[in-house]
Structure 1
Amino acid sequence: MVAACAGAGGGPAGARSTPSPTVTPPEVLCARIVAHWSREVLDRGTYGDYQSMGLSNGQYDILRSVVDAARAAKKREGARAADELVDRQSREGCAARYRSGGQGEGPWQ
């Protein structure tokens, strides 16, 4: 008589235990990319084309707002305050944009 052995994952022998893929919410992805490009713009001092940055028009609007506020904060309070502002306003702007479930009409929104 042959007994079945449990696999390393605790399941039947030969069964694979793979983690389920995780999905990053769009507002989190938006916040990451907006924060990244906001810092790039602050360092370079100039804006690029939103499409070359991989941003939608709406995300680019958030970026411009974040950069304007971060530049002012950097002058008043220093680089650390500007960096914290970039993270906070990127999260807030993207959360507001995706609160209703997604982007507007058209691929550029």
Structure 2
Amino acid sequence: MADGPSPKATSDVDLCVSIVGHWSREVLDGRGYGDYQSMGMSGGQYDILREVVDSARAARRKGAGNIDVLVERQAREGCTAWYRSGGPGEGPWR
């Protein structure tokens, strides 16, 4: 058995950012919305997704160039704030 560094655990915020970022790009590229459960998201993550997509669409209309940077930044801000305030509740939809 090889000794080496243990794999790093992904934080809740980083996982949220990854999920929200992925689905935001899918939606912005026209590959559609599903319901939050089919996307593997909680209701709170889905709320963040909708805010990110709305902002990205508005930025595109204004001619913004690199939407990926905006998506990443807003997903991180939304997820960080969400987990700071408690993150998911007791039901799977939160």
TM exceeding 0.5: yes
Larger radius of gyration: 1
Residue identity matched to 2:76: R
Q: String of CA shifts for 1:61-108, please: whole Å, max 9, x gaps.
A: 00000000000001102341x221111000000001111453222121
Say whether residues 1:35 and 2:26 are aligned partners: no
Counterpart position of 2:63: 77
Q: Which of 53, 61, 69 in structure 1 is aligned with 2:47?
A: 61
Q: String of CA shifts for 1:17-68, please: whole Å, max 9, x gaps.
A: 1322311100001001101100100111632111111100100000000000
Choose between structure 1 and 2 for higher RCO, CA contacts under 8 A separated by at least 6 residues. Answer: 2
* Cα distance in 2, alignment partners of residues 20 and 100 from structure 1: 30
* Cα distance in 2, alignment partners of residues 17 and 45 from structure 1: 43
Structure 2 residue runs of 5 or longer lacking an equivalent are none
Q: Which moved more, 1:63-72 or 1:93-102?
A: 93-102
Cα-Cα RMSD: 1.8
Q: Which of 58, 69, 89 in structure 2 is aligned with 1:104?
A: 89
Q: Which moved more, 1:98-107 or 1:66-75?
A: 98-107
Aligned pairs, how many?
94
Say whether residues 1:19 and 2:5 are aligned partners: yes
Counterpart position of 1:87: 72
Structure 1 residue runs of 5 or longer lacking an equivalent are 1-14
